[in-house]
Amino acid sequence: MIVKNPNDPEVIRSIHIFPKGIPIRLLLAENILKGLEYVAYAVLLPGQEIEEHLDPVEEVYFICRGEGIMRVEDEERRVKEKDTIWVPINTSHSLKNPFREKLEVLIIGAYPRRR
């Protein structure tokens, strides 16, 4: 069994910083995972955002706490705690927190299944 916490020292050492300063903590990565690319955790403080970008994997964003505005291609929606958002591979997307409370999100990345 492998158990990881966002505050574990090895997780803190794995932090990837998005250009606007959002730290993404890799909880699990391809060195452990067999069918996924990564499982990451991020906290967006009020006014912060994960800027628009593309990923070579499909992603699932799970809102753990708070609210935000998720954009996938041309569609923008308000998301809240326990919402799950699917982002297809190589699709433009962003997440921002224009609200007063922090936004906590779990991000899971995976390559499409081979058929």
Q: Decide: 28 and 39 in contact? Cβ < 8 Å.
A: yes
Domain ranges, ordered by start, for the chain: 9-110
For 22, other C-beta atoms within 10 Å of its C-beta total 19
pLDDT computed for residue 114 by the predictor = 67
- Say whether domain 9-110 belongs to CATH 2.60.120.10: yes
Render each residue's pLDDT in the chain as its tens digit; 115 residues.
888 888 899 888 888 887 777 888 889 888 888 888 999 999 999 999 999 999 999 999 999 999 999 999 999 999 999 999 999 999 999 999 999 999 999 999 998 766 6
Beta strand pairing call for 75-80 and 67-72:
antiparallel
Instruction: State pTM to two decimals.
Output: 0.87
pLDDT computed for residue 7 by the predictor = 87
Q: How far is CA 63 from CA 32, 42, 44, 114, 115, in A?
A: 24, 10, 11, 28, 30
Establish how many alpha carbons lie within 13 A of residue 14's alpha carbon, considering only the half-sphere containing its beta carbon.
Answer: 21
pLDDT computed for residue 74 by the predictor = 96
